[in-house]
Amino acid sequence: MTVPAHPRSRRPALSPRPALSSRPALPRRPAADRVEIRLPWWAVALPAVAFAALLLMIMSPGQAQAATADPALGQLIERTLHLLSR
């Protein structure tokens, strides 16, 4: 008797029983036709938490404040142009 390498591995299909009538025997389908999908808990919890966080941000936009400082990207471009123009 062989031991499967993995508990979910497919077992070889059993050979069909000899036909008792004159009709040809149809091959038997393996019992593992259905697919079982198992997700870890975090695969469901993380999208739910992200959705809730985005929903909270949409629900309270009045608390957002505009940035008053110069953007860092603009300063980087200015310094790069200054160094290239030397």
Residues 28-61 pLDDT 10s: 666 567 788 888 999 999 999 999 999 988 887 7
CA distances for 23 relative to 18, 20, 29, 54, 68, angstroms: 11, 8, 18, 63, 85
Q: Which residue has the tokens 């966080």?
A: 53
Does residue 31 contact residue 9 with C-beta atoms inside 8 Å? no
Q: Which residue has the tokens 């062989």?
A: 2
Least Cα distance to 11 among 19, 3, 21, 20 occurs for 3
- 3 pLDDT band, cuts 50/70/90, is low
Confidence check: pLDDT of 19 > 60: no
This prediction's pTM: 0.34
